Amino acid sequence: MPYFYLPSHRIRKELLSLLVCFLIATGLNIYAIINYDAPLSELWTSILYVLMATAVLYVAWIVLRLLIYGFLCLIGRRPKSEHHLPFILHRHERGYRSHHHK
Amino acid sequence: MGATTLAATSPWLRTFATVDESAHERCRLGLIGPGSRGRFLLSFLAQNPKCEIVAFADIYQPSLDEALMVVPTAKTYHDYRQLLEDKTIDGVVIATPLNTHYQIARDAFEAGKHVYCEKAIAYTMEETLDLYRRHLASGRIFFTGQQRLFDPRYIQVMELVHQGVFGEVAAIHAFWNRNGDWRREVPSPELERLINWRLYSESSKGLMTELACHQLQVGTWALGQLPSRVMGTGAITFWKDGREVYDNVHCIYEFEDGKQMTYASVISNKFYGLEEQILGNKGTVEPERGKYYFEDYGPAPAPAFVQMLMEWEDKIWGANTFAGSSWDPEVARNNPGEYILGKAPEADGTSLLTEAFVEAVCTATQPPRIAEEGYYATQLCLIGHEAIEQHKTLPFPEAMKIDYEPYGTKAPHR
Q: What span, in angstroms and rounded, lies between the C-alpha atoms of B354 and B358?
A: 6
B353-372: average pLDDT? 94
Q: What span, in angstroms and rounded, lies between the C-alpha atoms of B5 and B21?
A: 11
Phi, psi (5° rounding) for residue B185? -70, 135
B306-333: average pLDDT? 74
More confident residue, A3 or B348: B348
Residues of A in contact with B308 (CB under 8 A): 28, 31-32, 35-36
Residues of B in contact with A35 (CB under 8 A): 304, 308
Mutation pick from A22, A24, A28, A36 vs chain B, by most beta carbons of B within 10 Å, is: A36
Topology of domain B165-339, per CATH? Dihydrodipicolinate Reductase; domain 2 (3.30.360)
Looking at residue A98, its pLDDT comes to 47
- Are A46 and B304 inside 8 Å of each other by CB? yes
What is the 3-class SS of B284-342, one letter each residue?
Answer: EEECCCCEEEECCCCCCCCCHHHHHHHHHHHHHHCCCCCCCCCCCCCCCCCCCCEECCC
Looking at residue A79, its pLDDT comes to 64
Mean per-residue pLDDT over chain B, rounded: 92
Q: How do residues B376-388 score in pLDDT, each as one tens digit?
A: 999 999 999 999 9
The 8 Å CB, 24+ separation contacts for B105-112 are B105/B131, B105/B134, B106/B130, B106/B131, B106/B134, B107/B80, B107/B81, B108/B84, B108/B140, B109/B134, B109/B135, B109/B137, B109/B138, B109/B140, B110/B134, B110/B138, B111/B84, B111/B85, B112/B138, B112/B140
Q: Kindly give the residue spans of alpha helices, DSSP state H, lying in B36-92.
A: 36-45, 61-70, 80-84
Mutation pick from A34, A49, A57 vs chain B, by most beta carbons of B within 10 Å, is: A49
Q: How do residues B120-130 score in pLDDT, each as one tens digit?
A: 999 999 999 99
Give the CATH H-level superfamily of domain B3-149+347-368: NAD(P)-binding Rossmann-like Domain (3.40.50.720)
Q: How confident is the model at residue A91 (pLDDT cuts 50, 70, 90)?
A: low
Q: How confident is the model at residue A6 (pLDDT cuts 50, 70, 90)?
A: confident
Phi, psi (5° rounding) for residue B384? -65, -45
DSSP annotation of B208 reads I
Name the residue of chain A whose CA is nearest to B306's CA.
A49
B13-38: average pLDDT? 79
Candidate from A32, A45, A50 with C-beta closest to B307:
A32
Least confident of A33-37, A62-66, B83-87, B313-317: B313-317
CA A75 to chain centre: 25
What percent of chain B lies above the pLDDT cut of 70?
A: 91
Here the ipTM equals 0.73
Whether the Cβ atoms of residue B305 and residue A46 lie closer than 8 Å to each other: yes
Q: Angle at Cα B172 formed by Cα B122 and Cα B182, nearest 5°? A: 50
Name the residue of chain B whose CA is nearest to A40's CA.
B304
Least confident of A19-33, B81-95, B149-163, B288-302: B288-302
Name the residue of chain A whose CA is nearest to B311's CA.
A32
Q: Angle at Cα B340 formed by Cα B339 and Cα B344, nearest 5°? A: 50
Whether the Cβ atoms of residue B360 and residue B367 lie closer than 8 Å to each other: yes
B32-51: average pLDDT? 96
Q: Which of residues 30-89 of A touch B (CB under 8 A)?
A: 31-33, 35-36, 38, 42, 45-46, 49-50, 53
Q: How do residues A26-75 score in pLDDT, each as one tens digit?
A: 999 999 999 999 999 999 999 999 999 999 999 999 999 999 988 888 88
Rounded to a whole number of angstroms, the distance from the CA of B302 to the nearest CA of chain A is 10
Rounded to a whole number of angstroms, the distance from the CA of B310 to the nearest CA of chain A is 11
Q: Given a cut of 60, is residue A99 above it in pLDDT?
A: no
Q: How confident is the model at residue B314 (pLDDT cuts 50, 70, 90)?
A: confident
Per-domain boundaries in chain A: 8-96
Q: How confident is the model at residue A100 (pLDDT cuts 50, 70, 90)?
A: very low
Residues of A in contact with B300 (CB under 8 A): none
Q: How confident is the model at residue A8 (pLDDT cuts 50, 70, 90)?
A: confident
What percent of chain B lies above the pLDDT cut of 90?
A: 84
Per-domain boundaries in chain B: 3-149+347-368, 165-339
- The model carries a pTM of 0.79
- Are B307 and A36 inside 8 Å of each other by CB? yes
- Are B304 and A33 inside 8 Å of each other by CB? yes
- Are B308 and A36 inside 8 Å of each other by CB? yes
Taking chain A, what is the end-to-end CA distance rounded to the nearest angstrom?
15
- Are A42 and B306 inside 8 Å of each other by CB? no
Looking at residue B100, its pLDDT comes to 98
Looking at residue A102, its pLDDT comes to 42
Say which amino acid occupies A95: G
Q: Given a cut of 80, is residue B6 above it in pLDDT?
A: no
User: Alpha-carbon torsion B311, B313, B318, B320, what sign?
Assistant: negative
Looking at residue B330, its pLDDT comes to 75
